[in-house]
């Protein structure tokens, strides 16, 4: 396995472990009543992100072991897509409930993401299977690359990245609205981390596309983007489990103190 590809897989495993741990800690909080479903949805967001990251690592390992036929690559991709949508569903429901206190959005949101998943599967069917799987040293890619209409790409981005950007802004807004130090701190750190992570990725991607730069083969970007992702995940972990010096300095508590 190429060193950089191994690094990518290790990064994915590490990030998956961080997400899963955050989800586990949040899930251990004792919450009763209608807020319970929102808590579960938020836990689903972290677990689904973790599982998606783990699958990315698994795909690289299988590729390196020469055990990744096209059909398996596609199958893992479909499961990853499902996990992404589950994560987005969880995050959105959690935030909508937090803001409105209404549970009514649960059913329509679930139906929407179920239909969205079916639409994406149909799109994949329409695009057709790739001929082979290769790598660019950092991640896997397929040949020939699917030639999607630009409107489809835009819609894809709007529905897959948009909610996360919106959610991060919603978190940051909450940080200004809430009164408790711990809630302000957590909402601020989680919101900023997600915004920097996904927002920067989106902006750099858009700029690169406009300038026709090959980001996939750019070593600096590959390293920097992973460092950003790792830093964001670590920050989110510290939002819920702040080290003692942050607890002392900011007067905030850890999720451990609440479970």
Partner 1 sequence: MTDLAGGRCGTGIPGLDTMLTGGFMRGDANLVAGSPGTGKTTLGLHFIVAGIKAGEPGVFVTFEYLPQQIYRDALRRGWDLRKWEEEGRLRLLCTTPDVLLAETKPGRTILDEAVEEVGARRLVIDSMSHFEFVDQEEKRLREAISGLMNHLRLQDVTTIVTHEIPEIVGPAVRISNYGLEFLVDSVILLRYVELEGELQKAINVVKFRGGDHDRRYRRVHLGSDGMRIEDDFSGVENISGGSARRSVAQRAKELI
- Measured from the CB atom, is 32 or 143 closer to partner 1? 32
214 counts as binding partner 1 under rule CB under 8 A: no
Please report how close the Cβ of residue 257 comes to partner 1 at its closest, in angstroms: 13
Per CB under 8 A, the list member of 4, 29, 117, 216 interacting with partner 1 is: 29
β-pair type (132-135, 140-143): antiparallel
Among 6, 31, 122, 152, binds partner 1 (CB under 8 A): 31
Residue count at the site for partner 1 (CB under 8 A)?
A: 25
| Minimum separation from the CB atom of position 39 to partner 1 (A) | 6
Cβ-Cβ contacts under 8 Å for 147 (sequence gap 6 or more):
none
| Minimum distance of partner 1 from residue 28's CB (angstroms) | 13
> With contact defined as beta carbons under 8 Å apart, do 59 and 111 qualify?
no
Q: How far is the CB of 25 from partner 1 (least distance, A)?
A: 13
Residue 97 as a binder of partner 1 (CB under 8 A): the answer is: yes
Smallest gap from Cβ 44 to partner 1, in A, equals 14
Q: Which residues of 58-86 are buried (b: 16+ CB within 10 A; e: fewer)?
A: bbbbbbbeeebeeeebeebbeebbbbbbb
The reply to whether 176 sits near partner 1 by the rule CB under 8 A is: no
Tell me, residue by residue from 54 to 93, as one string, x for binding to partner 1 by CB under 8 A and - for no binding. ----------------------------------------
Per CB under 8 A, the list member of 24, 177, 248, 249 interacting with partner 1 is 177
Rule CB under 8 A: choose which of 174, 194, 236, 252 binds partner 1: 174
Based on the shown chain and the rule CB under 8 A, indicate whether residue 101 belongs to the binding site for partner 1.
yes
Closer residue to partner 1 in complex, CB, 21/116: 21
Among 9, 12, 13, 42, binds partner 1 (CB under 8 A): 42
Nearer to partner 1, 14 or 238 (CB): 238
DSSP-assigned states of every residue in the chain: --HHHHHHHHHHHHHHHHHHHHHHHHHTS---TTHHHHHHHHHHHHHHHHHHHHHHHHHHHHHHTT---HHHHHHHHHHHHHHHHHHHHHHHHHHHHHHH---TTHHHHHHHHHHHHHHHHHHHHHH---SEEEE-SSSEEEESPP---HHHHHHHHHHHTHHHHHHHHHHHHHHHH--SHHHHHHHHHHHHHHIIIIIHHHHHHHHHHHHT---TT-HHHHHHHHHHHHHHHHHHHHHHS--HHHHHHHT---GGGG-
Is residue 98 a contact residue for partner 1 (CB under 8 A)?
yes
**Rounded to the nearest whole angstrom, what is the least distance from the CB of residue 85 to partner 1 in the complex?**
22
CA–CA distance, 232 with 209 (Å, rounded to integer): 24
Where do contacts with partner 1 occur on this chain (CB under 8 A)? 29, 31, 33-35, 38-39, 42, 94, 97-102, 174, 177-180, 182-183, 186-187, 190
């Amino acid at each position: 396995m190429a060193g950089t590809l191994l690094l990518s897989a290790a990064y994915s495993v590490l990030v998956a472990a961080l997400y899963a741990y955050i989800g586990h800690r949040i899930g251990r909080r004792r919450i009763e009543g209608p807020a319970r479903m929102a808590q579960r949805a938020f836990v689903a967001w972290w677990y689904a992100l973790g599982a998606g990251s783990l699958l990315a690592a698994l795909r690289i390992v299988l590729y390196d072991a020469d055990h990744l036929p096209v059909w398996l690559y596609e199958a893992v991709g479909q499961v990853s897509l499902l996990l992404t949508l589950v994560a987005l569903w969880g995050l959105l429901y959690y935030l909508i409930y937090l803001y409105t206190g209404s549970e009514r959005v649960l059913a329509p949101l679930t139906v929407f993401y179920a239909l969205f998943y079916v639409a994406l599967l149909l799109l994949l069917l329409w695009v057709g299977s790739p001929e082979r799987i290769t790598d660019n040293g950092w991640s896997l890619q397929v040949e020939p690359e699917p030639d999607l209409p630009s409107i489809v790409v835009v819609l894809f981005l709007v529905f897959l990245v948009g909610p996360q950007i919106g959610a991060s802004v919603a978190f940051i807004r909450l940080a200004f609205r809430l009164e408790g130090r711990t809630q302000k701190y957590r909402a601020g750190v989680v919101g900023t981390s997600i915004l920097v992570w996904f927002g920067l990725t989106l902006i750099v991607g858009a700029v690169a596309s406009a300038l026709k730069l090959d980001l996939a083969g750019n070593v600096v970007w590959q390293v920097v983007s992973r460092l950003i992702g790792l830093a964001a995940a670590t920050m989110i972990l510290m939002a819920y489990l702040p080290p003692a010096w942050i607890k002392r300095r900011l007067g905030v508590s850890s999720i451990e103190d609440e479970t």
